[in-house]
Amino acid sequence: MQTSKDFAREIRNVTLKMVYNAKASHIGGAFSMADILSVLYHNVLKIDPTEPDNENRDRFLLSKGHACTSLYATLGLKGFFELKELDSYAANGSKFLAHTSHYIPGVEISAGSLGHALPIACGLAIAAQKKHKTWKTYCLLSDGELNEGSNWESILLAPQLKLNNLILIIDYNKIQSFGFVKDVIDIEPLSKKFEAFNWETYEINGHDHEELLATFKLCDNDGPKPKVIICNTIKGKGVSFMENKLLWHYKSPSEEEYNQAIGELNL
């Protein structure tokens, strides 16, 4: 039986192929969140690929839309659409844009400009509470994205509204567009910030599947606070020469790099 770790490997393989074929960017951030996506879609989210708009589904909103490849890979592997459709990724005429598109089954919102998903996620969480629905809203942000003021407007409001059905996930891979997060705008102490803002706060290893699953389970409680899971991750996780390298926010692998990466992913 497939485990979430097997699934994560598949996600990275499909992602790598998409990025390589399309000569696309952003593989580093797509890989850093691959384990989070794997656990969410394998074990946590109440979703049905045959009914992507089922009104009782959990909502997952990806805010760092530039890392769409691993989300598309996840959804394709789960059967939201034919996996081979991803061969058209970023090609002329393809609906698979190089940022998330809500025209793709299973993708809740289009994202690209940073700092947009969390306010929308708050809107969804408010709607669920008003309508007494039990589905949850998950929202995944990057670390650099926390520079955006709009996120902090939501981070202030969500506890005020007791949005306990909102689970925020931070893919804390420590690298943003121009360098290390700590050198651009240091967001530490991040856990303490969220605690001070009245969030139920968890800080974990975002590549440890057992810890991810256990934390998602802990978030399933009736306490009044919104939840945040700060996932310490590694940009480019899974391919040695991509790990912790700013370059892989931009670069597309050469044939040689592609072959090496495939080898490492499938050891």
Partner 1 sequence: MRTAFIKELIEEAKKNKNIFLIVADLGFSVVEPFIELFPDRFLNVGIAEQNMAGIASGLATEGYNVYIYSIGNFPTLRCMEQIRYDICYHNVNVKIIAVGGGYAYASLGASHHATEEIGMLRTIPNLTVCAPGDPEEMRAITKFTSAHNGPCYIRIGKAGEPEVHKKYDKSIAEVKSGDILNVINGTDIAVFSTGSMLDYSANFISNNSLKASLYSFPFIKPLNKNQFTDILKKYKRIITIEEHQLNGGFGSTILELINDLKETKTISSYPEIKRVGINNAFYSIAGTQDYLRKLAGIELQLNYFEL
- Please pick, from the candidates 30, 73, 86, 118, the single residue that binds partner 1 as defined by CB under 8 A: 118
* Both structure tokens of 164: 């306990």
* Both structure tokens of 123: 């809107």
Instruction: Find the largest Cα–Cα distance for the chain.
Output: 54
Q: How far is CA 15 from CA 53, 128, 212, 250, in A?
A: 24, 32, 21, 15
- Please pick, from the candidates 50, 92, 149, 255, the single residue that binds partner 1 as defined by CB under 8 A: 149
Q: Does 232 bind partner 1 (CB under 8 A)?
A: no
Q: Does 119 bind partner 1 (CB under 8 A)?
A: yes
- Please pick, from the candidates 109, 140, 169, 261, the single residue that binds partner 1 as defined by CB under 8 A: 109
Q: Does 46 bind partner 1 (CB under 8 A)?
A: no
Size of the site for partner 1 (CB under 8 A): 28
Residue-level length of the chain: 267
- Please pick, from the candidates 50, 82, 84, 131, the single residue that binds partner 1 as defined by CB under 8 A: 131
Least Cα distance to 193 among 247, 244, 155, 163 occurs for 155
CA distance 151 to 71: 21
* H or E element that contains 138: strand 137-142
Which residues have CB under 8 Å from 53's CB, separation 6+?
none
- Please pick, from the candidates 43, 48, 105, 126, the single residue that binds partner 1 as defined by CB under 8 A: 126
Closer Cβ to partner 1, 124 or 261, answer by number: 124
Q: How far is the CB of 52 from partner 1 (least distance, A)?
A: 14
- Please pick, from the candidates 44, 47, 90, 128, the single residue that binds partner 1 as defined by CB under 8 A: 128
Angle at Cα 248 formed by Cα 241 and Cα 106, nearest 5°?
A: 115
CA distance 264 to 267: 5
Of 27-35, 89-97, 122-130, 241-249, the window that binds partner 1 (rule: CB under 8 A) is: 122-130
- Please pick, from the candidates 154, 165, 173, 215, the single residue that binds partner 1 as defined by CB under 8 A: 154
Residues in touch with partner 1 (CB under 8 A): 102, 109-110, 112-113, 115-116, 118-128, 130-131, 149-150, 153-154, 156-157, 160-161
